Chain A
Amino acid sequence: METVDIGKALLQLENLSIDYRINTGMLSAVHNVNLTLRHGEIYALVGESGCGKSTIAHNVMRLSIDHNEVINGRIIFEGQDITSIPEPEMEKIRGKKIGMIFQNPLDSLNPVYRSGTQVTEALMLDGMSKKEAVLRTIELFRDVQIPNPEQRIAAFPHELSGGMRQRVMIAMMLARNPSLLIADEPTTALDVTVEAQILRIMKRLQQKFRTGILLITHNFGIVAEIADRIGIMYAGEIVEEGTVFDIFKNPVHPYSRALLSTLPRYHKSLRRIAAIDGNVPRITEKRAECRFRNRCPYSSEDERCATQSPNAVSFGSGHIVRCHRAEEDRV
C-alpha cells in the first residue's frame, strides 16, 4: 500500500447548511455539514440520490445563483471564505483553482468547437501563446492517455466516445492546474472497462500534481478503489466520516452498516443481501431528531432518536459518527 502525502487543509466546510424555499415551505438539502479536504487527498461524499451530495459540489463551485437558496455556514477554500465573495472574485477561482467534471461529459463540452480548441482556449486565458498552448494541449491529452493526441485534438466532441470525452474534460481541467477537482459522478455514464481507465487517471493526477479531489458518487466500488477519506451522507447530513479503512472495515452508524451490507457481493446460493426498508425522506421541517430514525432498526430502543439531534462522536483520528448509540461506545 502506498501512502499519499496529505498536506494542509485545502477546502473546509464549516456548519454548512443549504435550504431551498419551495412553495410549501423550506426544503433542507444540506444540514450542518463539516468537512475538511486536504491537499492531495481524495475525499468521497457518498450517498443515495437526494442526500445533498451534489448540492454541496455545486455550491462550492457556485455554479448558479438560485434566489430560492439560503446558505448558512462557511465554505473556506485555501484559507479564504468563498461563501460571500463577489462574483468577479469567484470567477478567478472557478476553473482556475477549482475544476469540475460531470457525469455526462457531452453536456459539458461545447459541441461546436473541436475538443483540442476548448483546452487550448483555456490555456490561452492564462496568457500562453497559441503555439505553446497547442503543444501543451497535446501533452495534456497524452497525460490523460488519449491515443493519437495529435489527431484527436481536431475531433469534435460528438466524434469521441464517452470515455474519450471524459478524458478531454479532465485534460481541460488540468490545463489550468487547479488545486481542487470536483468530480460529480465522473464514471456513472461509462462502461466498467472504461471506468477503470478513468479511475486510474484520476489516481495518477492526485499523486503527480497533488490535486485534491472531491468525489461525489453513489458507487462504493469506486470509493473503495481510489478514495482516501469518505463522508457518508444521509438526508443532508454527514452521518459518518473516516478513512476508507474506517468505513469499510469498521462502520459504526447503522446507515453506513446497512448500506455496506446491501451491496451485492455474494452468490445467491450463499445468502440474501440485507435490504433497508423504506425510502430517503425529504426534510421540510427541521426537528430535533435523528433523520435516519424512521428506517433505523435501533430507533425504537432509544427515545433520544426522536427528541434530539445526535452529536458528532469521535472514534479517534478523524473517524466521526453522528448517532446516539455511538455515544456510549465512544473510544
Chain B
Amino acid sequence: MSEHNAIISIRNLNKQFVLSKRLFSRKKSVVNAVHDFSMDVYEGEVVGLIGESGSGKTTLARILLGLTEADEGSIRIDGTELTNAGRKQLREIRSRCAVVFQDPAANLNPRQTVESSITRPLVITGVPRREAKRKAAEALREVQMDESYLFSYPHQLSGGQQQRIAIARALVMRPKIMILDEPTSALDISVQAQVLNLLLDLQEEYSLTYLIVTHDLSVIRYVSDRIAVMYMGRLVEYGTTEDIINNSLHPYTKILINSVPVLDPEHRNNEKAMFSGEPGETPEKLAACRLAQRCPYAMQQCFEGTPPMQEVTPGHFAECFLLSDRR
C-alpha cells in the first residue's frame, strides 16, 4: 500500500485478550481480537470498517483512540506514532482525533448541561471560558440545533438530538479525524437519515477524515468512499465502495452482501448463498484462513495456512487462496 498522505497508517497490529476458561483451571483461552492487521486511511476520505460481532472492529477503534493498548504493531496517526506514545504525543493525537460512540444516551454525561459537555474539551486545553462558550454555540448551529438547547440536560433531548450534541462536542476541537462507532444504529430510521446527512455535510465542509465502524452495510455503502471488511480480527477485503459492493472478491464479503435483505419484495426469492455457521467459530490453528470452517469454497489449503493479502486490481485488496489463480 502506498505510504503517501495516509493520515492513519496501521501496520501488523495485534491484540490478544486472554480469558481464563474455567474458574480453577490454568488453561487459558486466547482471543485474537485483532490479528496482523494493516490498513491505510487517506486524508479527507470516508472509510467504512464493517464486521459482525466478534470481528474486532470495536477493539480496533478503541486502540486508535488510545483506550486499549495494542500488543504489537505500529499505528501512525497524522505522522505521530501511537503505540508507545508518551503523554504528550497521546495528547497531540487525541486533539486531532475525535470520537462519537453508538448509544446516544450514554454518549453524554447525564449531569452535564449541553453547553458544559461541548465546552469541556476546549476548557481542559486552556481555551478561555467565554471563547469556549462562543464556540459551543457555533458548534450547535453546525449540527443544526437551536442555541436554546445549550442549557438542556441530555435526558430532555431525543436520541437524534443527543447524537447531534455528541457530534458537536467532537467537532468543537476542530479535529482532522473522526472515529464514529456505529453512529446511527441506535436511532430510528427517520432520525438515522438526518444524522447521516449531517455527518456527510460536515465531512465535506471541513474535509474531515472519517473512520466509521459499523455492522450495517446499508449505512456504510451510503456514506463511504472505501470499505474495509473485517472478519475475526483480520482485514479480509479493502477497496472502494464500488469494488466491495459490486465486485467483491472474498467469499465472506460476497455472502455478507448477499445476506443483507434487499429493499425490494420482487427480489425476495432469489436463492442466496449462505453461511452455515456463525461468526466466532475458530479454526483449530492460528495459521489458517479464519473463515475456513464456514466457507462454502474451503479447500485443503485453507486449513493449513493464512492466505496472503493481494492487490487484485489497483487499490482493491483481498486475502483468499481462490484469488491466487486469478492473478
Contacts and interface: CB of A to CB of B under 8 A. Distances in A.
Contacts of B264: 224, 248
Nearest to B242: A267
Nearest to B218: A264
A195 B52 CA distance: 11
Nearest to B192: A262
Given A48-B189, A193-B259, A222-B261, A273 B197 contact: yes
Contacts of A49: 188
A158 interface: no
Given A192-B259, A268-B223, 13 more contacts: A48-B188, A147-B277, A193-B278, A194-B279, A219-B261, A220-B189, A248-B263, A262-B192, A263-B263, A267-B222, A273-B196, A273-B197, A279-B191
Given A191-B215, A193-B256, A264-B219, A259 B265 contact: no
Interface string A244-259: 1100100000000011
Shortest 6 CB-CB contacts between residues of A and residues of B: A221-B261, A264-B222, A262-B193, A191-B52, A275-B193, A48-B188
A213 to B, nearest CB: 15
B150 interface: no
B263 A221 contact: yes
B279 A191 contact: yes
Interface in B213-266: 215, 217-219, 221-224, 241-242, 245, 255-256, 258-266
Contact of A224 (B188, B194, B197, B268): B268
A253 B276 CA distance: 40
Most buried by A among B46, B191, B261: B261
Interface string B43-57: 000100000110000
A275 B190 CA distance: 6
Contacts of B190: 48, 258-259, 262, 275-276
A265 B272 CA distance: 19
A225 B261 contact: yes
12 contacts: A2-B269, A195-B259, A196-B258, A196-B272, A259-B190, A263-B189, A265-B218, A268-B224, A272-B197, A275-B190, A275-B191, A275-B194
A163 B241 CA distance: 29
Nearest to B268: A225
Contacts of B256: 192-193
Given A193-B279, A196-B272, A272-B197, A224 B160 contact: no
A13 interface: no
Contacts of A219: 261
B280 interface: yes
Which size bracket describes the interface of A in this complex? 35 or more
A191 B189 contact: no
Contact of B200 (A163, A224, A245, A272): A272
Nearest to B51: A191
Given A49-B188, A221-B218, A196 B196 contact: no
Interface residues of B, number: 47
Nearest to A295: B190
Contacts of B52: 191-193
Nearest to A247: B265
A49 B159 CA distance: 11
A164 interface: yes
Interface of A: 1-2, 48-49, 147, 161-164, 191-197, 199-200, 218-222, 224-227, 244-245, 248, 258-259, 262-268, 272-277, 279-280
B280 to A, nearest CB: 6
Contacts of A268: 46, 200, 222-224
Nearest to B225: A268
Contacts of B194: 275-277
Most buried by B among A220, A263, A279: A279
A262 to B, nearest CB: 4
Contacts of B68: none
A279 B158 contact: yes
Contacts of B241: 267
B273 to A, nearest CB: 10
B265 A248 contact: yes
Contacts of A258: 190
A110 B15 CA distance: 35
Given A192-B217, A280-B188, A274 B193 contact: yes
B255 to A, nearest CB: 6
Nearest to B160: A279
A268 B212 CA distance: 14
Most buried by A among B160, B191, B217, B262: B191
Given A263-B218, A264-B218, A264-B221, A221 B274 contact: no
A226 B274 CA distance: 16
A258 B189 CA distance: 10
Nearest to A2: B269
A49 B242 CA distance: 33
Contacts of B266: 1, 245
